[in-house]
Structure 1
Amino acid sequence: MKSKLIIFDMDGTLVNSSLTIANAINYVRQNLGFEPMEQEYILKHVNDHTINPAQFFYHSKRFDPDHERWFSEYYTKNHEKELVLYDGIRELLDALKEKGHALGVATNAYRGSTIESLTHLGVHDHFDAIACYDDVAQGKPHPDMLYKLLEETNTEKEKAHFVGDGPRDEMASQKAGIPYTMVDWGFTEHTDAVRSVKELEKILLRV
C-alpha cells in the first residue's frame, strides 16, 4: 500500500469542541450586546454553508478583528476544560502514522486556537501540515487550504484523502478534486456518513 496524505477537518471530526464553539460564539454576542443563543441552535447552523455566519451570529456583513479576538479569548481561557478528542481518534492517528501516511488538518478555525487545541490534546505532533482560516484567502467551502496542504507536503491530489463532517468540507474536497469521506459523530447528521471511528479506520487503511 502506497502512503497517502490523509487530511482531517478539526471541529466535529477530530475534536468534540461543540461546547466551546457555542460558548465562544455567545461570548462574542455578549460583547456585542446580543442575547445568547441556545447551544443546539448554534450547532445546527455552524456548518450551514447556505448562511453568512458573520451575519447569522453577529449581525455583521463579515467577521472583523474584534470577533476574532473575543472568540480566541474565550477559546484560550476555556479549551483545556471543554475540548476532548472523540473516542478512538488518537489510536486512529497512531495507526495511520505507523502505516507511513502523512497527516494534515484543514480547519476554518484560526491558527492560534487550532495550535492551542491540538497541542493541549496531545496530537499536534502527529500532523505534517496544518491549514487554517487565516492562512488562506478563502476558507472552506473553497478549496484553498486543501491546495495549501498538497503544496506543503508535495502531494498530488490523487494521493490525498479528506475526512470531514459537513457540507463545507465536502464542497471543498469536490472543488479540489480530492476523495472525501463524511463522518457523522460531529455537528451534523448525514444518512450516508461513516458512524464510527473503527469504520473510518478500515476505510483509511485501505485507501
Structure 2
Amino acid sequence: MLPRTVTAILFDWDGTLCDSAAASLRAFRKSLAEFGVAFTDAEYKAVYTPRWYRMYQSLGLPEHCWERADQQWLHHYREEAPELLPGASEVLDLLRRREIQLGVVTNGTRGRIERELARLGLSSTFQAVVCCEDVTQIKPHPEGVEQALALLGCSRQACCYVGDAPEDIQAGKSARVLTVAVRSEYVDDHRLEACCPDAILANVEELPGILA
C-alpha cells in the first residue's frame, strides 16, 4: 500500500499506459539502421531513456545525425498503431469511478500523444496532459509533474506519479510526490529499483491494489 491517500494520479504514457515500447524499439532500429548503427535488445534495454539524444549517444550515433534520426523515428513510428497495455483501460475506468483526478506527463510530442489519445478513445479521460513542448526541461526534471499538479489544483501530498523509466521516478521524487514504478521488459529492473520508488508493480493492473 502507498503510505498515504492520493486524490490524483499522474501517468507516464509510453510503456506505462500505452504498449508502445515494442513499436518504439522497431522504429529506433529502422531509423538508426539508416545511419549504419545496429544494436541488440539487451543493449537497448541497458541504455533506454526517454531522453532520445542521450540514448543516441550511448548507441554510438554521431551528434550531427541526431535531429535527422528524430525525424526518421517519427516517420517509422507513424506506421505503428500501439494499443493500451493489458488492463490499463479497466484501471483508468476504476480510478475515474473513484473520482481520482488523472493526468499524463510525457516527454512525447503533443501532436503524437493527442493522436494516440483520440485513437484510443481517451481524449476526455485526463484532466491534465503535459507534453515536451509544454516545459523548458523534460524528465527527469520535475517541471512537467509540477505543471500537471498546478493544472489539477492538487497538492503534492495527495498525488502520485506512475512510470516505467528511472527518469519518471526521478521526476516524481524531485517534485515531492509519491512514485510508483511499473516494470517493463525494455527497462532494466535494477535501474528502476535504484531510484527507490514508493512502490514497484509488475504491471499497471496492480495499481488499484496499492491505493488506500
Q: Same fold (TM over 0.5)?
A: yes
Amino acid at match of 1:92: V
List runs of 5+ in structure 1 lacking aligned partners.
none
Matches within 5 A, 1:185-204: 185=184, 187-188=186-187, 189=189, 193-204=200-211
Structure 1 residues 144 and 16: alpha-carbon distance in aligned structure 2, compared to 1, 3 A threshold = same
Q: TM-score, normalised by structure 1?
A: 0.83
Distance apart, 1:37 and its partner CA: 2.4
Task: Give the 4+ runs in structure 1 shifted more than 4 A.
Answer: none
Matches within 5 A, 1:36-185: 36-47=38-49, 52-57=54-59, 58-60=61-63, 63-64=66-67, 66-78=68-80, 80=81, 83-185=82-184
Structure 1 residues 10 and 145: alpha-carbon distance in aligned structure 2, compared to 1, 3 A threshold = same
List runs of 5+ in structure 2 lacking aligned partners.
194-198
Separation in 2, partners of 1:45, 1:124: 32
Greater shift in the superposed pair: 121-130 or 5-14: 121-130
RMSD of Structure 2 on Structure 1 (CA): 2.6
Q: What's 1:12 paired with?
A: 15
Secondary structure class of the residue paired with 1:108? coil
Distance apart, 1:3 and its partner CA: 6.8
Structure 1 residues 198 and 35: alpha-carbon distance in aligned structure 2, compared to 1, 3 A threshold = closer
Q: TM-score, normalised by structure 2?
A: 0.81
Amino acid at match of 1:193: I
Structure 1 residues 108 and 4: alpha-carbon distance in aligned structure 2, compared to 1, 3 A threshold = same
Separation in 2, partners of 1:48, 1:71: 13
Distance apart, 1:39 and its partner CA: 3.7
State the percentage of identical aligned residues. Answer: 26
